[in-house]
Amino acid sequence: GLKKKEVHVLCLGLDNSGKTTIINKLKPANAQTHDIVPTIGFSIEKFKTSSLSFTVFDMSGQGRYRNLWEHYYKEGQAIIFVIDSSDKLRMVVAKEELETLLNHTDIKHRRMPVLFFANKMDLRDSLSSVKVSQLLSLENIKDKPWHICASDGLTGEGLQEGVDWLQEQIT
Ligand code: GTP
Ligand code: MG
């Protein structure tokens, strides 16, 4: 068949937000793993959609590894930024990391679509995607197409909507 267009995506966000869980869920059932552990450094993952072949740089969100992120910015054509919607205490940290990311010289002037997952929507005390969007001041992002979806990385709810949007932005 036709070779799918290849896209490199950076998966970023604080530790424990659910990045690896989400990427794992996007893989075909027989390629998914059951024991997900905190990412050390980063890991390169692949999954396909109807028209695209994604290579994902699944970065560790732990503070001590966040300085690795910027070394991969040039490689990325799109960003998936994951937020734990139940982690109200660290919403401001997520906001700071997002601002630093979007102001980086390798990101700032490029048209890179940014997909936000307001993850862990299943938890009782999680914030809505609208609320997360307000707390992160996403309305201030003027120079990049962005989209936010509520998601549940454990069941996969909300992931398809996000990936459909991303695919539309790229193709
Ligand atoms: P780092 O690799 O350390 O940056 O973390 P990460 O963002 O990759 O998070 P990871 O996927 O390892 O998930 C962290 C924890 O959150 C795990 O215990 C997951 O099972 C859990 N988790 C992920 N997504 C969800 C979700 O949507 N709902 C709930 N309730 N738990 C989730
Ligand atoms: Mg991880």
**pLDDT tens, residue by residue, 88-97:** 999 999 999 9
* Structural domains of the chain ordered from first start: 5-170 (3.40.50.300)
Mean pLDDT, to the nearest integer, of 25-42? 96
* Tokens matching residue 64: 């001590």
pTM over cut 0.90: yes
159-170 and 19-26 helices, crossing angle to 10°:
80
CA distance 9 to 76: 5
**What phi and psi, each to the nearest 5 degrees, are found at residue 113?**
-65, 140
pLDDT for the residue 73 = 98
The partner residues of 58 in beta bridges, in order of sequence, read 11, 43
User: Cβ(39) to ligand 1 under 6 A?
Assistant: yes
ipTM over 0.90: yes
- The yes-or-no verdict on residue 110 having pLDDT over 70 is yes
DSSP state of 2: P
Yes or no: say if 138 and 146 are a contact pair by the CB < 8 Å rule: yes
pLDDT for the residue 2 = 73
Ligand 1 centroid to residue 21 C-alpha, Å? 6
